[in-house]
Structure 1
Amino acid sequence: MFVAGRRSDNHYQDFSIYAAGDFGPPRLLSATTIEGSQDRGIGSIAAVRPDGKALAAETGGAGGGVVTLWDTSNPVAPERAAWVEGITGHLVKILDIGFSPDNRTMAVLSYHTTTDASYLHLVDVTDVQAPAVTSTVRVGSGISPVVFNPDGRYLLAPGEGPSAAIRTVGGGVVGELPASVKVIAAAFSPSGAVLATGEGNGTVKLWDTAAGRAPTLIRTLTRRPNAIHQLAFDPRTGLLGVADAMTVQLWKLG
């Protein structure tokens, strides 16, 4: 488990890595403070590779978007590995980062303020010392997290229009969600057959995404009083965790 926080009085970022077992409180493995600056500070976008051996974070600050990788194979002593070439640029903002389940691919969503365009970058991170961008596609104006399905063949990302979409790892669009659905949190079920999406109005919806087909609405699961911040499926039980600003709920899906 990874926890990050920015100090309010300077440009330092605290990274803490915990071992989280089935029972009892998490056990701290390491805590690292990384010095930043006004132009090279550590941002709020970060993701951990599923195997726990790599960490990616936005590190561009005011000077433009940069994604940096850390080698966390030794969680007690994480080491800066490399920054990803081909994504950086003046006034580039990193919107989200996600890893594929097989640990080989990283998806990065970026926004270029000078051209008012967003891009989905797929990066080979098999070797964290030498990450390489394998494809870049321009996406629409929709806001969406980047989330891989369990087999790693598809991912949720912005579509070609104003909504989120199911895309292939090659970047092609399988099907888009309705434009009225503004996704700010998402999670695939352990089988990949169901996609849960959370919206700013507190709504959680379930979508049929079996076999990478175009998403079709199954039902609206719940409407919370606050925006949905996080969704997560338990891979062992299939329970869906729904978190807003005030509460966390667990749902058992029939």
Structure 2
Amino acid sequence: MKQIGKGGFCKTFLAVDEGQFPPVPCVVQELSPESETFKTFQQKVQRLEELGKHPQIPALLAYFQQNRHFYLVQEFIVGTNLAQVVEEEGAFNETQIWQLLEDVLPVFQFISDRNIIHRDIKPHNIIRRSPIPKKGDFVIVDFTTAKLVTEIDWLTSETSIGSPEYAAPEQARGKAIFASDLYSLGVTCIYLLTQISPFDLFDIANDCWVWRDYLTTKVRDVWGQDSKSLRLAQILDKLLQNAVNRRFQSTDEVMQAMGMEAKIQVALEAHQKCENPPWQCLHTLTEHSGRFSSVNALAISPDSTTLASASDDKNVKLWDLNTKKVLASLSGHSQAVKSVAFSPDGQILATASDDKTIKLWQVETLEEICTLLGHSHAVKSVALSPDGQILASGSWDKTIKLWDVNTGTEICTITGHQLQVNSVAFSPDGKLLASASYDRTIRLWQISALAGSQTELQNRPCYSLLATLSGHAWAVLTVAFSPDGQILATGSDDNTIKLWEVNTGQLICTLVGHSWSVVAVAFTADGETLLSASCDKTVKLWRVSTAEEIVTLSGHVDSVSAVAVSKVRQLIASGSRDKTIKLWQLVEQDNS
């Protein structure tokens, strides 16, 4: 379609694979014969095939040779490189740098574990997939100058490769090592913080970096005022050391300095303790088998006889939990269904969709009662009040709406979140509503008594903001109240679960163990156990009183996107992007 890059012996083009339907955009890199032999090209292909298995590295789609040139065809990453992001949005703040490091350091570890040095880390080669970055949204691209390190490489030198502004001193001398990529990452960070060329951030006369002098006044005023920002400054300084022996030697060291290593260790220890779990998967439901059949949401009816499952195929399935068979399939939404909820009496099912609508269904007759219209963007979550009279919906239009279930009319719109709302939940007494958002906050709303005429409702507010809970480093994806209403559990893109005291808004503890985003949480009926579902393909059970992990349920082969727990049976349901639903039951342990 067009040339989008050129450097050294490589040209990069945006292309379209018309052999696919619909046509698929991709990136084609043309390598000149001066830079490659057939043998080195084959070696490069092998490296790219291995690296492309990581979700934050473009996959290699094809490769070939034509007219003496070598060609690589790679996945096209939709997004904006960080050089463009800074130009369009201005310099990064401390939180954005911390998020970037947390997101890309595991990718650097993946690369170095395979004895590969990228050798051209810079803002242009890091792509942000979306304006509101989630875990895994930063992608490392352009591995044309990447090098596989062998023992003999430590004894030889080569010509300087990479971008002079970002290359480590030893790399400029033809002696790139693993720590060279970390140096380039450090330089990338200080450029993002200052929007000043790295050449101008280095004081040649005194042989030192002076990046702090170029921070904006607003950033400089808060920089180093708390322990976290001070630690980040120290990490950047150590990444930028000219002398290799004073620099971080490995990604592990950087992650440990950031506290990420501890999280990994906790996860490993928890996994080792749970090799023989008391919860076992006794049934796997596979009827969601179409191409677009990722299971997005689950709900178990109050009497635990019926399971509702929502999918990307636009349908909602109802399952008989005794026979494990599909009772019915509800169709009517025009886009993926993202949330389902039963009314307290089990007679009504609410469904929310990316098509901006909510539908109410009569469970017994399987008939659609009504469609609720009003949101201007995808609806990601619905919850019904304990008395079944009010429905709350959270949307990517940044609002929450309250609806009268009996009439299907909108009661009010709740605004306040700065970004998309991902999840809503009522407290057991129905007086509070919790909402979770991409703005990294959880808000507690006090819901007013909604009895009275429609005129009276219009003349008084139906809600008030009670508290804003902050502490998650990334988007908050899910919320759930404990059965006694005293604890609020939240799951986030930062891989953690937080427990909050509802009455005071104080953080009780942070549960660490998942290695990827936590997308769903739910309490058991007795409130003693918390369930969490994660993109790391697992469901974890936690003891609420001690904040310790009880067990990890493994078996899904892709991200777990939903979890539901029975109120009357020892039964857990989990849904996944692998298109399956697993039913887990507590089995007796043989202690003989």
Aligned residue type for 1:192: G
Contact 2:396–2:422 (8 Å) recurs in 1: no
C-alpha contact 1:176 1:214 (8 A) present in aligned 2: no
Select the residue among 60, 66, 73 that pairs with 2:357. 66
Within-5 A mapping of 1:18-167:
18-19=320-321, 27-28=324-325, 30-34=327-331, 40-41=334-335, 43-58=337-352, 61=355, 65-72=356-363, 74=364, 77-85=365-373, 87-88=374-375, 91-112=376-397, 118-125=398-405, 127=406, 130-142=407-419, 143-158=421-436, 163-167=441-445
Deviations, residues 34-68 of structure 1 (Å, cap 9, x unaligned): 266xxx3453333322322112223563xxx2222
Task: Provide structure 1 residue ranges, at least 5 long, that are not aligned to the other structure.
Answer: 20-24, 113-117
Contact 2:310 2:339 in 1 (8 A): no
Shift in alpha-carbon separation, 1:50–1:207, aligned structure 2, 3 A: same
Deviations, residues 160-209 of structure 1 (Å, cap 9, x unaligned)? x7622111123211110116453212211111111111111211111111
CA distance in 2 between partners of 1:51 and 1:207 (Å): 29
| Residue aligning to 1:251 | 542
3-state SS of paired residue (2:361): strand
The one-letter code of the counterpart of 1:247 is: T
What is the RMSD computed on CA atoms of the aligned residues?
2.5
**Structure 1 residue matching 2:387: 3-state secondary structure:** coil
CA distance in 2, matches of 1:241, 1:179: 20
Structure 1 pair 233–45 and aligned structure 2 pair: CA distance change class (3 A): closer
What displacement does 1:33 show? Answer: 4.6
> Using a 3 Å threshold, how does the CA distance of structure 1 residues 230 and 139 change in structure 2: closer, same or farther?
same
Counterpart CA distance in 1 for 2:518 and 2:318 is 25
Per the alignment, residue 204 of structure 1 pairs with 497
> Which structure features the higher share of helix residues?
2
Correspondence 1:193 to 2:486: yes
For residues 141-172 of structure 1, give each alpha carbon's deviation from its aligned partner in whole angstroms, at most 9, with x where no partner exists: 2444101111111011158x762211112321
- Percent of pairs identical after alignment? 24
Please report the TM-score for the alignment, with normalisation by the length of structure 1: 0.76
Q: Which runs of 4+ in 1 moved over 4 A?
A: none
Deviation at 1:221, TM superposition (A): 2.1
> Distance in 2 between the 1:59 and 1:195 partners?
25
Q: Separation in 1 of the partners of 2:521 and 2:353?
A: 25
Does the Cα contact within 8 Å between 1:6 and 1:14 map onto a contact in 2?
A: no
Q: Does 1:228 align with 2:525?
A: no
Q: Which has the higher strand share?
A: 1
The 1-side partners of 2:315 and 2:436 are apart by 29
Q: Is the 8 A contact 1:201 1:225 kept in 2?
A: no
Higher-Rg structure is 2
- Given candidates 178, 185, 190, the residue that maps to 2:470 is 178
TM-score with structure 2 setting the length: 0.35
Shift of 1:79: 0.7
Counterpart of 1:152, as a letter, is G
